[in-house]
Amino acid sequence: MSNVAVQDARPATPAPGRGSLSHRSLPRWAGAGFAVAAIALAVGIGLAFDLQSKVQWGLIAALLFVLISYAVTTAVENKRQAKDRVATSLVWVCFILAVIPLLSLLWTTISRGTKVLNGYFLTHSMAGVPAFEQGGGIYHALIGTLEQIGIATLISAPLGLLTAVYLVEYGKGALAKAVTFFVDVMTGIPSIVAGLFILTLMLMFDLQPSGFMGSLALSILMMPVVVRSTEEMLKLVPNELREASLALGVPKWRTILKVVIPTAIGGITTGFMLAIARIAGETAPIMLLVFGNQLINTNPFDGAQSSLPFYIWEQYRVGSDASYDRAWAAALVLIAFVMILNLVARGIARWKAPKTGR
Amino acid sequence: MAKRIDVSGLSAYYGAHKAIDDISMTVEPRSVTAFIGPSGCGKSTFLRTLNRMHEVTPGGRVEGKVLLDDENLYGSAVDPVAVRRTVGMVFQRPNPFPTMSIFDNVAAGLRLNGKFKKSELADVVEKSLKGANLWNEVKDRLNKPGSGLSGGQQQRLCIARAIAVEPDVLLMDEPCSALDPISTLAIEDLIGELKGRFTIVIVTHNMQQAARVSDRTAFFNLAAVGQPGKLIEIDETERIFSNPSVQATEDYISGRFG
Amino acid sequence: MASSIATDTPPPPAPAPAARRNQSTGRAGDKIFLGLSRGSGIFLLVVMAAIAIFLSIRAGIAISEDQGNFLTTFDWNPAGSPPAFGIAVLLFGTVVSSVIAMAIAVPIAVGIALFISHYAPRKLAAPLAYVVDLLAAVPSIVYGIWGALFLVPYLGGLNEWLDSYLGWTVLFEKTEVGVARSIFTVGILLAIMILPIVTSVSREVFLQVPRMNEEAALALGATRWEVIRLSVLPFGRSGVISASMLGLGRALGETMAVATVLSPSYVLSLHLLNPGGGTFAQNIAAKFDEANQLGRDALIASGLVLFVLTLLVNGAARMIIARRKEYSGANA
Crossing angle of helices B102-112/B118-131, nearest 10°? 110
The reply to whether C210 touches chain B by the CB within 8 Å rule is: yes
Check CB contact under 8 Å for A175 and C135. Answer: no
Average confidence score pLDDT of chain C = 83
Shortest distance, CA B75 to any CA of chain A (angstroms):
8
Q: End-to-end CA distance of chain C, in Å?
A: 30
The reply to whether A45 touches chain C by the CB within 8 Å rule is: no
pLDDT, position B227 = 87
Alpha-helical runs (H) found in B36-115: 43-49, 80-86, 102-112
Cα Rg, chain B, nearest whole Å: 18
Which of A1, A20, A23 is closest, CB to CB, to B65? A1
Check CB contact under 8 Å for A20 and B81. Answer: no
Rounded distance, CA B201 to CA B191, Å?
10
pLDDT in tens, A71-90: 888 888 778 888 888 888 88
Cα Rg, chain C, nearest whole Å: 26
Q: Does A35 score more than 70 pLDDT?
A: yes
- 10 Å Cβ neighbour count for A255? 23
The reply to whether C103 touches chain A by the CB within 8 Å rule is: no
Contacts of B79 in chain A (CB under 8 A): 10-11, 21-23, 25, 81
Q: Does C275 score more than 60 pLDDT?
A: yes
Q: A5 or B105: whose pLDDT is higher?
A: B105
The reply to whether A105 touches chain C by the CB within 8 Å rule is: yes
Which of A3, A12, A22 is closest, CB to CB, to B79? A22
Mean pLDDT of C320-329: 60
Chains with at least 3 CB pairs less than 8 angstroms from chain A: B, C
pLDDT, position A53 = 65
Q: Does A356 score more than 70 pLDDT?
A: no
Of C299, C264, C115, the C-alpha closest to C200 is: C115
Which of C57, C119, C196 is closest, CB to CB, to A88? C119
Of A293, A318, A2, A358, the C-alpha closest to A138 is: A293
CB contact set of C331 (below 8 Å; sequence gap of 6+): B98, B147
The answer to whether C254 and C154 have CB atoms below 8 angstroms apart is no
Check CB contact under 8 Å for B74 and A21. Answer: no
Rounded distance, CA B229 to CA B177, Å?
21
Mean pLDDT of C184-203: 91
Rounded distance, CA A245 to CA B125, Å?
56
Nearest CA in chain C to A101: C192
Shortest distance, CA C193 to any CA of chain A (angstroms):
9
Average confidence score pLDDT of chain B = 89
What percent helix, strand, coil does chain A show, rounded to 5?
70, 0, 30
With cut-offs at 50, 70 and 90, classify the pLDDT of residue C4: very low
With cut-offs at 50, 70 and 90, classify the pLDDT of residue C21: very low
pLDDT in tens, A181-216: 889 888 889 999 999 999 999 988 989 999 999 999
pLDDT, position A96 = 82
Peptide bond into C82 cis (omega under 30): yes
Check CB contact under 8 Å for B64 and A17. Answer: no
Check CB contact under 8 Å for B96 and C216. Answer: yes
Helices (H) and strands (E) in chain C, counts: 13, 2
The reply to whether A266 touches chain C by the CB within 8 Å rule is: no
Lowest mean pLDDT among A240-249, C147-156, C167-176, C235-244: C167-176
Residues in chain B: 258
- 10 Å Cβ neighbour count for B155? 30
Q: Does A353 score more than 70 pLDDT?
A: no
Check CB contact under 8 Å for A313 and C311. Answer: no
Q: Does C2 score more than 60 pLDDT?
A: no
Mean pLDDT of C89-108: 94
Per-position DSSP letters for A50-82, written without gaps between them: T---HHHHHHHHHHHHHHHHHHHHHHHS-HHHH
Check CB contact under 8 Å for C224 and A108. Answer: no
In terms of phi and psi (left: phi > 0; alpha: psi -120 to 50; beta: otherwise), the region of A18 is beta
Mean pLDDT of C260-281: 86
> In terms of DSSP bridges, do strands B169-173 and B199-203 run parallel, antiparallel, or are they unpaired?
parallel
Q: C157 or A311: whose pLDDT is higher?
A: A311
What percentage of chain C reaches a pLDDT higher than 90? 36
The reply to whether A87 touches chain B by the CB within 8 Å rule is: no
Average confidence score pLDDT of chain A = 85
Q: Does C97 score more than 70 pLDDT?
A: yes
Rounded distance, CA B62 to CA B86, Å?
19
pLDDT, position B177 = 86
pLDDT, position A355 = 53
Q: Does C156 score more than 90 pLDDT?
A: no
pLDDT, position B125 = 92
> Which of C:33-52 have CB within 8 Å of A?
33-34, 36-45, 47-48, 50-51
Grouping H, G, I as helix, E, B as strand and the rest as coil, residue B203 is strand
Give the pTM: 0.84
pLDDT in tens, C23-41: 455 678 888 899 999 999 9
Contacts of C40 in chain A (CB under 8 A): 158-160, 162-163, 166
Which of C219, C221, C234 is closest, CB to CB, to B99? C234
Best mutation site among B73, B112, B144, B159 for testing chain C: the one with the most C CBs within 10 Å?
A: B112
Count CA atoms within 13 Å of residue B44 on its CB side: 12
Partners of residue B115 on adjacent β-strands: none
pLDDT in tens, B9-43: 999 999 889 999 999 999 999 999 999 998 888 89
With cut-offs at 50, 70 and 90, classify the pLDDT of residue A9: very low
In terms of phi and psi (left: phi > 0; alpha: psi -120 to 50; beta: otherwise), the region of B228 is beta
Mean pLDDT of C185-193: 93
pLDDT, position B115 = 64
Check CB contact under 8 Å for C219 and B113. Answer: no
CB contact set of A332 (below 8 Å; sequence gap of 6+): A109, A110, A113, A114, A117
Q: Does C181 score more than 80 pLDDT?
A: yes
The reply to whether A25 touches chain B by the CB within 8 Å rule is: yes
Nearest CA in chain B to A10: B79
